Structure 1
Amino acid sequence: MIRQFPRWVEIGGFWLALIAGSVNAIGVLGFKHQAVSHLTGTSTLASLAVVNLDITETGHLLLIILCFVLGAALSGAIIDNAVLHLGRRYSVALVIEAAFLLLAMGVLSHGSNTGHYLASAACGLQNGMVSTYSGAIVRTTHVSGMFTDLGTMLGARLRGHKLDTRKVLLFVLLITGFILGGCIGAIGFQYLQFTALALPAFGAFALAMVYWVYRYWGNGINR
């Protein structure tokens, strides 16, 4: 599957992972140590809140989970395809993601928890968008699966199987982008607090514009 992707997928994937890593770092530092780019930790925290009969916290965490799912649903409604195709509306999804992040920045700066939900929806939208074209092979908002895949690929190589070097390169780029994005988000939050969300928002908008130019000017596609 990955061998069939055009070469610009690595660049776009790296940039998207950079955005997600930045958002997640800001979330961990500013949302009571809650990750927003993936739901593993949030689901565990929700379980703890249920056991502790903390209704307020349970509701808050479940809303974060729901908004992530709704963001992914919005991606599916916009793109409506499981195969990578330049004519699909990825630029629209990226602009909406940027808008969600900017709205999250605004309301979080005024102390509203609504920003948590908007940031989660933005990450769900991005993850759904990438899963749509990758057949759920590639993720840009979390890296656990990629570390696992790299490990199993290494094990298979030790057994004498051929190594898919392009797949390894893609996963390394995505992991590097996520970690680098986390560094950017952490530094940004240190100096800008929630205004740092403007950085990944700008990144999403910039990628949308680059994609739009490449799609129309570079390929003459009219959709």
Structure 2
Amino acid sequence: MMTKLPRWVEVGGFGLAAVAGAANAVGLLGFRHQAVSHVTGTATLVGLAVADGDGAAAARLAPALLAFVLGAAASGAIVGHAALRLDRRYAVALLAESALFVAAMVLLTAGSTAGHVLASAACGLQNGLVSTYSGAVVRTTHVTGLLTDLGTMIGHRVRGRPFDRRRAVLYLVLISGFVLGGAVGAVSYRDLRFAAPAVPAAGAAGLAAACWAYVGRTPATTEAGPSSQP
């Protein structure tokens, strides 16, 4: 069980989830109603296209899957941590994510669907930023796993097992950030259309700046404590 939770884990997680929620709202409203913060739906659409013999649709959708993987690969190469431990490599990765969102915005405003692929890469990069904290799987670009873990924890409590309140708080913070980010992304798309990726780009850049400043100010207190692979 989590015995303590550094404030930066909650604040950073909330911010990252909000960035992903905003990007996903823009994707659902503008990129042929496709999600970008996760690729489960896109993978399903590729399967449907294959079943229908629609090679053109499959060829259009598949690059988003590959881009998500490449984004996660870039994250792993930049950060290199299997467990959550804050340092300036996270800031570098967040700046790369911001740059991908900016490039996506430029391409989309020019009428190129390649912008959707770059937005997917940005989200793959973010999803690879964090993996575990004190045995808890931490994801900021989708909420399916978070809700599943919460439900499992409640079920365990019914069976008389201890309930990890700190982990539950972390999950609720992440879910709240994603929902709020989705609301911001929806409003941004209605006002800005395909310039809306500027919002998650600004969010990622702001988090990068905050991370850089925080690590520089408190270099001895940035580790999240004991972590393990799930």
Shorter-chain TM-score category? over 0.9
Runs (4+) off by over 6 Å: 132-136
Residue number in structure 2 paired with 1:55:
55
Q: Decide whether the 8 Å contact of 1:82 with 1:135 is kept in 2.
A: no
Residue number in structure 2 paired with 1:184:
184
- Post-superposition offset of 1:106: 0.7
Identical-residue share of aligned pairs (%): 56
1:207 partner amino acid: L
- Post-superposition offset of 1:60: 1.6
1:16 partner amino acid: L
Counterparts in 2 of 1:32-47, with a 5 A limit?
A: 32-47=32-47
Q: Report the more deviating stretch, 152-161 or 177-186.
A: 152-161
Alignment TM-score, normalising by the size of structure 2:
0.91
Residue number in structure 2 paired with 1:131:
131
Residue number in structure 1 paired with 2:15:
15
1:83 partner amino acid: A
CA distance in 2, matches of 1:119, 1:29: 14
CA distance in 1, matches of 2:2, 2:61: 34
CA distance in 1, matches of 2:220, 2:27: 39
Q: Decide whether the 8 Å contact of 1:64 with 1:116 is kept in 2.
A: yes
1:80–1:128 Cα change, 3 Å: same
Structure 1 residue matching 2:131: 3-state secondary structure: helix
Counterparts in 2 of 1:78-89, with a 5 A limit?
A: 78-87=78-87, 89=89
Q: Decide whether the 8 Å contact of 1:26 with 1:185 is kept in 2.
A: yes
Q: How many matched pairs?
A: 221
1:105 partner amino acid: M
Counterparts in 2 of 1:33-182, with a 5 A limit?
A: 33-87=33-87, 89-131=89-131, 137-182=137-182
CA distance in 1, matches of 2:52, 2:165: 47
- Post-superposition offset of 1:200: 0.8
- Post-superposition offset of 1:4: 6.2
1:136–1:125 Cα change, 3 Å: farther
Q: Per-residue CA shift, 1:22-51, capped at 9, x if unaligned?
A: 000000000111101111111110111111
1:7 partner amino acid: R
Q: Decide whether the 8 Å contact of 1:76 with 1:132 is kept in 2.
A: no
Structure 2 residue matching 1:89: 3-state secondary structure: helix
CA distance in 2, matches of 1:136, 1:38: 19
Q: Decide whether the 8 Å contact of 2:132 with 2:138 is kept in 1.
A: no
Alignment TM-score, normalising by the size of structure 1:
0.94
- Post-superposition offset of 1:217: 2.3
Aligned-pair RMSD on alpha carbons? 1.8
Residue number in structure 2 paired with 1:29:
29
Structure 2 gap segments, 5+ residues each: 222-230
Residue number in structure 2 paired with 1:195:
195
